[in-house]
A and B are shown apart, each in its own frame.
Chain A
């Protein structure tokens, strides 16, 4: 197979995964939120409401595509693509198993985080182009919170990088195989040294998911639908899809960095090899469930509180922790550089 064809197929696989994920996650979100509220969620279309989301996708695809008169036409059309594309690109470096990944980047972690940060650009484009004050406020908020929380997000993964000595996501996963004294899996989450970093990572990663408690850029009770107000049909569908894809990426990053990626303790490599992608996906879905659980529990925070929390608490905290963590691993020579 020619390398061009191979890479094309890999990209198509990522697109397919992203689309399927979107459909499954929307259904899962409805069921999980319903259960958290002691409701049933969708039950009518198909068995257990399984066909509800495919029907909604059909509806989105066949809906009239309205372009308001005063929008900035070029930006208005580019914005959904500018949001969707980075979300798709973020799949590139995620290792699903030792062999299953779109590409094995040496700077995978940095790449994923950087690509994810491009999403907010698209959101600002959408907000600006819509010629609507709600959209503009939504876009501005989105950029504001993304910039503020990008810093603690990037810094919070530094302890892992310092410990392992690489930005390659597969090497980070491999560093987590094995067990501590044969009891606990050697995932970074079982090491108390990584707990502060993990907490900061989760808080700032929630921003990327753009869901409550941090859905300031949509904030339907304040801003109609924020940046997506003027969008309809599949343009809106792309925003929607990107959002769900982001929650997958965030969960996948958390699993890769802290929960051992596709590794399982006590399972020999020969057994693990064929089921590694399944293990990874299961872990990711558990992570997504936790994100939905948070979404179903917490109310939206206020914009100024959100910004204050990032700049006044989170960033100083993470900087301090990096300093302390650096001292600890240097003093006791704890680092386990790979390769």
Chain B
């Protein structure tokens, strides 16, 4: 009443003005993203560059958009060989369900937010191509027999 709301609004805008701009001048300045920012899906790799994917297909089933495509061949000794793990980035909604579903922590949400591409083909990303699948159980068994250690790490893929 009596224009109190108007005065309050004027006070708020003046306060905002005195606070100064909060603009990030993007191409010149970049913010550091929070740790849990979710952008394109990436494969987790350890120091030696080895991945952890066992080709269990859990992520492919978890994806609500059906944009993950995993093809693998099983050898006679039941070891798996990944032909490709293909990811349709242009259709990804970055929900992170594949990362949550992965029982071997082989996937993560990346921090790269500059995802614009010049051609449509670039939007299809091959995360893994023609590599042997990780086999943590076999690696554990193999490491137990000669060394007798208790290495319980789930990593240790056989191929980078």
Cβ-defined partner of B21 (8 Å) among A35, A294, A296, A297: A35
User: Could you say which of B8-16, B44-52, B76-84 contacts chain A?
Assistant: B8-16
A297–B17 contact, CB under 8 A?
A: no
B16–A37 contact, CB under 8 A?
A: yes
A296–B13 contact, CB under 8 A?
A: yes
Is there a chain B Cβ closer than 8 Å to A39's Cβ? yes
Question: A31-49: contact bitstring with B at CB < 8 Å (1 yes, 0 no)?
Answer: 0101111111001000000
Q: Identify the closest chain A residue to B14 (Cβ).
A: A293
Residues from chain B with a CB closer than 8 A to the CB of A40 are 21, 23, 25
Cβ-defined partner of A38 (8 Å) among B9, B16, B25: B16
CA distance A105 to B138 in the complex (A): 101
* A35-B17, A36-B17, A37-B16 known; A297 vs B10 contact (CB < 8 Å): yes
A297–B9 contact, CB under 8 A?
A: yes
* Interface size of B as a range: 10 to 19
CA distance A244 to B19 in the complex (A): 27
CA distance A35 to B12 in the complex (A): 12
B20–A38 contact, CB under 8 A?
A: yes
Taking chain A's interface residues, is the majority helix, strand, or loop, or is none over half, making it mixed? helix
* Interface size of A as a range: 10 to 19
B9–A298 contact, CB under 8 A?
A: yes
B9–A36 contact, CB under 8 A?
A: no
CA distance A144 to B13 in the complex (A): 30
CA distance A151 to B80 in the complex (A): 88
Residues from chain A with a CB closer than 8 A to the CB of B12 are 297
Interface residues of B in 14-52 (CB under 8 A from A): 14, 16-17, 19-23, 25
Is there a chain A Cβ closer than 8 Å to B145's Cβ? no
CA distance A309 to B13 in the complex (A): 25
CA distance A36 to B9 in the complex (A): 11
Residues from chain A with a CB closer than 8 A to the CB of B6 are 297-298
Q: Identify the closest chain A residue to B19 (Cβ).
A: A38
A294–B10 contact, CB under 8 A?
A: yes
* A298-B6, A298-B9 known; A38 vs B14 contact (CB < 8 Å): no
Q: Identify the closest chain B residue to A32 (Cβ).
A: B17
Q: Identify the closest chain A residue to B9 (Cβ).
A: A297
Closest chain-B Cβ to A31's Cβ sits at a distance in Å of 10
Residues from chain A with a CB closer than 8 A to the CB of B19 are 38
Interface residues of A in 104-159 (CB under 8 A from B): none
A34–B14 contact, CB under 8 A?
A: no
Ordered by A's residue number, 17 sampled pairs between the chains whose C-beta atoms are within 8 Å are: A36-B13, A36-B14, A36-B16, A36-B17, A37-B16, A38-B19, A38-B20, A38-B22, A40-B21, A40-B23, A40-B25, A43-B25, A293-B13, A293-B14, A294-B10, A297-B6, A297-B13
Which residues of A come within 8 Å of B, CB atoms? 32, 34-40, 43, 293-294, 296-298
